[in-house]
Amino acid sequence: MKVPAGPTPAPGGPGTATGLRQAVAFLTPLGGPAVPGPGALVWFPVVGGLIGAGVGAAWWAAGREWTLGVAAALAVLADLALTGLLHFDGLCDSADGLLPPMSRERRLAVMAGPEVGAFAVAAAGITLLVRWASLASMRPSIALVAALWMASRTWMAVAVVAVPYARLGGGLASAFRGRGQGGVIPVGVVALLAAGVLAATWRPVAGPVAVAVATLAAAAVVAFAWRRVGGFTGDVLGAAGVLGETVGLLAACGRW
């Protein structure tokens, strides 16, 4: 996930942002510029849940006026708009950097570059198709999307704490590491349990299973990146979130 760098606010100055605003600024195109910091991580699940509620609301509202296929397409569009395509960009960059055979240094260079390769195009097309098809096969549910999107940002926050940062020179996502991230794991456990409970209000079995399967998928993405480049990057966080959500939606639309 690439975010244009701006001037760094002086500590305690007018540009200093709270953890919540930092999380909003990093995960969405809203909130204005804010330098990320460790205090933002505990707010990731909250911001994720709000984004998911927005996407779910768009899905539900569209479903009242159009067919399920059109409603699903508008929900996918709403997600891309509310996230500013940041996480989707991470998916594309990760596909180009992690999937083809190359050295670790070359993988990181490809992920940092602006070019879009065949692996990115394929990953983007398949992911969008699966997301649309999954949503189009179900009746709209705000609770389901909010739960999966809350879990998605929880995975991102936990990965920052649990996995090494891959770039030796640092990068945007490395700013989240440091003092102030000690409560991320407990908050993450609570957030995942809350996501499971919220998903259960949609369907008592299928909802929690979707959250659990999505969590395993996101963990697999991070583990794969750890093996390939030695840790996470901002792109890897985006890829883990998007693919986890997609697998969760796919599990939710199964014949339960």
pLDDT digits (tens, 9 = 90+) for 119-136: 999 999 999 999 999 999
> What are the structural domain ranges in the chain?
37-252
N residues, the chain: 256
- Please name which of 212, 153, 222 lies closest in space to residue 188, comparing C-alpha atoms: 153
Task: Report d(CA 170, CA 248) in Å as an integer.
Answer: 31
C-alpha torsion 226→229→230→233, nearest 10? -80
The count of other CB atoms within 10 Å of the CB of residue 185 is 14
Q: Give the residues of the chain that fall short of pLDDT 50.
A: 2-16
Cα 200 versus chain centre, distance: 21
Greatest CA separation for the chain: 54
pTM, two decimal places: 0.90
Task: Report d(CA 223, CA 48) in Å as an integer.
Answer: 22
Burial of 241 (0-12, 13-18, 19+ CB in 10 A): buried
pLDDT digits (tens, 9 = 90+) for 51-97: 999 999 999 999 999 999 999 999 999 999 999 999 999 999 999 99
